[in-house]
Structure 1
Amino acid sequence: MNPQIIAFDADDTLWHNEPYFDEAQAKFCELFADYASSQEILLLILNHQVKNLPLYGFGIKAFVLSMIESALELTNNEISGNGIEKIIKIGKELLQKPVELLPEVETVLGKLKGKYKLVVATKGDLKDQHRKLHDSNIGHYFHHIEVMSDKKDIDYQKMLHRLDCQPESFLMIGNSLKSDILPVLNLGGHAIHVPYHTTWEYEKIDFEVVHPNFNSVSHINQILDLI
């Protein structure tokens, strides 16, 4: 492995993210506990999220819209304005969550900066992702910030073209096998999986990844031994 560019996913790779969504969904389930079980409500939200991805994309605002649609379905379109306001409040709280870096992230970035071009390659709401990067105080480590509408093969192809980088000279590091690893391997790039303790259902896959350009580590500082 001799990468020219090393890209990092942001949410749950550089900083904590999914637990905040879990907390928000728990609040939503509490609001509508009289209508369905938590398991049924969580499945309903997920179904709306997946259905809405082509229209809304990823991120907190899309999540809030899917929660509102779920509430309309749960209440047979009889939810009050006050109920909608409570859902919006959950979303606003999410948008104001503090950015907490994962352990050793800044140490790793400090050791890599200057040796490689470092990139943030993430998906989600553009404004929110830039807000989190600003609040994290690690933006100065990165040569380029890419907030992608999705993370499929074509999205990585477009990014690599903009970066003037061949796939074999590109290394992607992230917590999602589905979004951070598989598309890069499909293009002939390198990828390192750094698992996070919880994963959004949409990002889960049901098979083992085996590829000569693939590695998995238990902690982000272990990537230094592989590069």
Structure 2
Amino acid sequence: MKKQNILFNLDDTLAYCNKYFSLVINEFADQMMAWFDSIKEEEIKQKQLQLDVAAISEYGLKSERFPESFVGTYKYFCDLTGREKKTDEIQFLRELGFKVFEIPVEPIPNMNETLLRLKEDGHELYLHTGGDEANQRRKITQLELTTFFEHRIFISEHKDTTALSNILKTIKADPHVTWMVGNSLRTDIVPALKMDIHAIYIPAENEWTYNMVDVNVEHSSTFITINSLNEVPDVIDKSIQEQMM
């Protein structure tokens, strides 16, 4: 069997992520509605999402960006309604936003079994995750992912085609035997297809709007959508067999 290079995304591919953000955003919206009785939950969530996504181009996927979207939303509605901005309320919202980074991570079903099978099949496994170093390392440690990835871990604050290109150069990857596995069309799949490596898309149960984009990329590589993580080894095996025919 020909050895493949397989890059995995972390958040919502190997471990749950967005559902924790949704829980904290719900807490935020509840608190905001208690302070602003004339504003609807959907208005609050839309403004928070707008500010959060808009900040990515400048700040990337740093953890601080998310709590600041709470603060920005609060200030926006204070200006809109004439409510006084209070330092203690701003601090409360910042601390609420940071709570999401303290929640213990939970692996996606069959994470260990999938990675173990690929490792035992002789493939080279890499982790390519977006976020800041401290928070992503926390998750990697909790999930004991160095068992499978060892030192082959890349953390990008700006997870895009440039970041992926730099990784592929670093590992000297042959695109014909290199795969990207992830749930984000924006940061996993589109960059992979632009670099003409194979891509396996696993839609998340609870997806972040930012990750959803149209895939209009010319490529000669394989692009497959599957329903669950444990299908990855069979997809890889089938592709290898087809290449050998």
TM range (shorter): over 0.9
Residue identity opposite 2:56 in structure 1: L
- The answer to whether the Cα contact below 8 Å between 2:67 and 2:95 also exists between their aligned partners in 1 is no
1:10 maps to what in 2? 10
Quote the offset at 1:60 in angstroms. Answer: 3.0
Within the candidate set 145, 153, 169, 1:145 is matched to: 153
Larger radius of gyration: 2
Does 2:134 correspond to 1:127?
Answer: yes
Distance 2:113 2:22 in 1: 28
Distance 1:157 1:208 in 2: 19
| Deviation digits for residues 136-192 of structure 1 (CA, Å, limit 9, x no counterpart) | 122221041111122322221111111111333310101112211111011110010
2:239 maps to what in 1? none
Residue identity opposite 2:25 in structure 1: Q
Quote the offset at 1:208 in angstroms. Answer: 8.2
Does 2:50 correspond to 1:47?
Answer: yes
1:116 maps to what in 2? 123
Residue identity opposite 2:148 in structure 1: Y
Does 2:239 correspond to 1:223?
Answer: no
- The answer to whether the Cα contact below 8 Å between 1:11 and 1:17 also exists between their aligned partners in 2 is yes
2:78 maps to what in 1? 75
Quote the offset at 1:199 in angstroms. Answer: 0.8
1:165 maps to what in 2? 173
1:60 maps to what in 2? 63
Aligned sequence identity (%): 28
Distance 1:110 1:207, change over 3 A: closer
Residue identity opposite 1:135 in structure 2: Q
Aligned length: 227
Does 2:112 correspond to 1:106?
Answer: yes
**Equivalent residue of 1:60, what SS?**
coil
TM-score, length of structure 2 as denominator length? 0.86
Q: Which structure 2 residues correspond to residues 199-214 of structure 1 after superposition, within 5 A?
A: 199-206=207-214, 213-214=222-223
Residue identity opposite 1:196 in structure 2: A
- The answer to whether the Cα contact below 8 Å between 1:48 and 1:69 also exists between their aligned partners in 2 is yes
- Coordinate RMSD, CA, aligned: 2.1
1:175 maps to what in 2? 183
Instruction: Structure 1: state its 5+ residue gaps.
Output: none
Does 2:47 correspond to 1:37?
Answer: no
TM-score, length of structure 1 as denominator length? 0.92
Distance 1:13 1:67, change over 3 A: same
| Deviation digits for residues 95-142 of structure 1 (CA, Å, limit 9, x no counterpart) | 210111111000011111151111110101211000111011222210
Distance 1:210 1:18, change over 3 A: farther
